[in-house]
Amino acid sequence: MPSVDCTADSVIASNYEDWLRKGIHVITPNKKANSGPLYEYLRLRALQRQSYTHYFYEATVGAGLPIISTLRGLLETGDRILQIEGIFSGTLSYIFNNFKDGRAFSEVVAEARDEGYTEPDPRDNLSGIDVARKVIILARESGLKLELSDIPVENLVPEPLRGSSSAEEFMQQLPKFDEELTEILKDAESSGEVLRYLGVVDVSNEKGVVELRRYKKDHPFAQLSGSDNIIAFTTRRYRNQPLIVRGPGAGAQVTAGGKFNDILRLASYLGAPS
């Protein structure tokens, strides 16, 4: 019988070891266990192998998109990962897809919040920590032994507002800080470029980063719409033309689809007819 953790709670994730030790399979979109302290992650994976249980977490990166399974498929067939880069946040994808045509950054953030694309406090999205957790998960899947603290993160929350007492106060004050990002956008547009918020796993150099980057308008990362995610795998096999996975990376339906796929995979492994 599996345990399906649908939370983002670190306390619940701390129970995975005990569940696996007792022979309970774990399926989860919760990023906390796989992006927590490295020694705990390594201990969890070793225990999972020793206990002959299954631990599935496809939806931790990209919701229902086949990101983890694609990475594993590449590694298991003998490919060598060189770099993984992508737009891993549906929220920040939506924001930067709409931050154009003279619109203020604060206006777009407010719109994203009203449409339900952000957390109740948008600072949780703009801080970049969620993207960093996804970068760490993919880095560890690729064989890198990195801590979350090893990932430099460009925080889009203006420093004076990081201590705002409430989300409402943050939103009220955010327009005062529009000018800096507006100048960055204007500079990019003058060069025929767009802004995108990226997570990168540089496997060759054993590092990762989360930051705002500029791309020419004909680049695949510049051609997104809505809240789509896009992830590019550069490998020994796909060196000249990266393997790209693109589609909705957030939302209840697609996340549920990712979890349900893991449940069906577990059933298949346990002997259910295909």
Q: What type of residue sits at position 124? A: D
Tell whether 176 is in a known binding site.
no
CB 87 within 8 A of CB 229: yes
Q: Give the model confidence (pLDDT) of 115-155 as tens digits.
A: 888 888 999 999 999 999 999 999 999 999 999 999 999 99
CATH top class, domain 1-61+251-274: alpha beta
Tell whether 22 is in a known binding site.
no
Q: Which residue has the higher pLDDT, 197 or 63?
A: 197
Calculate mean pLDDT across residues 202-220.
97
Each domain of the chain, given as residue ranges in start order, spans 1-61+251-274, 64-248
User: Which residues, in sequence order, are CB contacts of 35 under 8 Å at separation 6+?
Assistant: 41, 132, 133, 134, 136, 137, 148
Helix axes 67-76, 129-141, angle to 10 degrees: 20
Pick the closest to residue 235 from 80, 76, 67, 69 (CA basis).
80
Q: Is position 134 annotated as part of the catalytic site?
A: yes
pLDDT of 272 reads 61
Calculate mean pLDDT across residues 158-174.
96
Bridge-partner residues for 85, per DSSP?
200, 232
Q: Give the model confidence (pLDDT) of 84-127 as tens digits.
A: 999 999 999 999 999 998 999 999 999 999 988 888 899 999 99
User: Which residues, in sequence order, are CB contacts of 152 under 8 Å at separation 6+?
Assistant: 209, 210, 211
pLDDT of 173 reads 97
Mean pLDDT of the chain: 93
Q: 246 by DSSP, 3-state: which?
A: strand
Q: What is the pTM of this model?
A: 0.92
CATH 3.30.360.10 fits 64-248, yes or no: yes
**Eight-state DSSP code of residue 112:** H
**H-only helix segments in the chain:** 10-13, 16-21, 32-35, 38-50, 67-76, 90-98, 105-114, 123-126, 129-141, 167-173, 178-190, 252-269
Calculate mean pLDDT across residues 147-174.
97
pLDDT at 253 over 80: no
144 is written with which tokens?
A: 């890198």
Q: Choose, from 22, 32, 134, 259, the residue flagged as catalytic.
A: 134
Q: Give the model confidence (pLDDT) of 53-79 as tens digits.
A: 999 999 999 888 999 999 999 999 999
